[in-house]
Structure 1
Amino acid sequence: MRWWDIDPVLELERDLFPEDAWSRGMFWSELAHARGPGATRRYMVAQDGAGRIVGYAGLASAGGIGDVQTIAVARDHWGTGLGARLLTELLRAATAFECAEVMLECRVDNVRAQRLYERFGFEPIGFRRGYYQPGNVDAVVMRLLTASDSGSAAGAPSEQGTDIHG
């Protein structure tokens, strides 16, 4: 993801997460930590054949732990395998950052995302009450130990006509 991707990403963000969408400043802050030799973030976008951003994802790393910050896929691309491709790329980034484990929070009512994470070997380890504001929605905390075979992305489905890049 680059700075010029922020506006189309924000449109998708507001469509998918109307109550708790990230702000422009939040994306700028994350991108500020995504470049250079001391980078601790990896953000990417997925574009369809027409160049429209149809997904994005981001990972933060610190102290050998990766944290999935966000994964989003446009509604018209749900069920195509794009979410799995984005997660695969995040896990590759976690490996490059030498993360021994990857954590994430997921809305308790987002069963589709939880199933995706479970397919990759993430396991629920707890809850964060009222994590998503202002809706006061709980989050399930999930963890993947990257040293194990679980989370291998070799079998992740692909979607033709979609390009993922940083």
Structure 2
Amino acid sequence: MFKMLREANPGLQRRFSPESAFHFADFSDEQLEELLHRTAAAAGLKWSSRKVRKAALGLLIRERIQPNFGNAGSVNSLLGRVKSAVAARGDAREIILADLGLDENAAGGSAKTEALLAEVEAEMSELFKAEHLRAHFDDLAARLTTLEKDGELDASRPADKVGSYV
């Protein structure tokens, strides 16, 4: 962005100095949840359960890690997708997990994630001598599940960077 400002149009840098740009802090989890609740209510929607609202909050928390997270804009984008899903169900006014793209039976993820995992497992089953990889991934999944149950997994904190996995 800075390079574009410097090279594309020198006048832009003078008019819109990156050093004097506004910085908006990300909303807290509580603020995001309150905004989710109010925005859904303003649209005439209600959450089918607290679990569903917490799942929506979890999606926003994971999205907050991205550099272009937009606080209320991200809430509005999420609820825009939810409204489309609710409308596709007909007369429903309650938000369910499926409206968030999540599967009630998925182990901590979305239906899309479950489909991708099944695809990866199918690919791995065709690999020669890859049993140790499958065992390793199963162990990682079990450890993650334990961390989630114990409340030790903080989805709002970005993962530590690791080197090459292979």
Higher helix share: 2
Compare CA radii of gyration and give the structure with the larger one.
2
Q: What TM-score, normalized by structure 1, do the two folds share?
A: 0.26
Between 1 and 2, higher relative CO (CA 8 Å, sep ≥ 6) is seen in 1
TM-score (norm 2): 0.26
Q: Higher strand proportion, which one?
A: 1
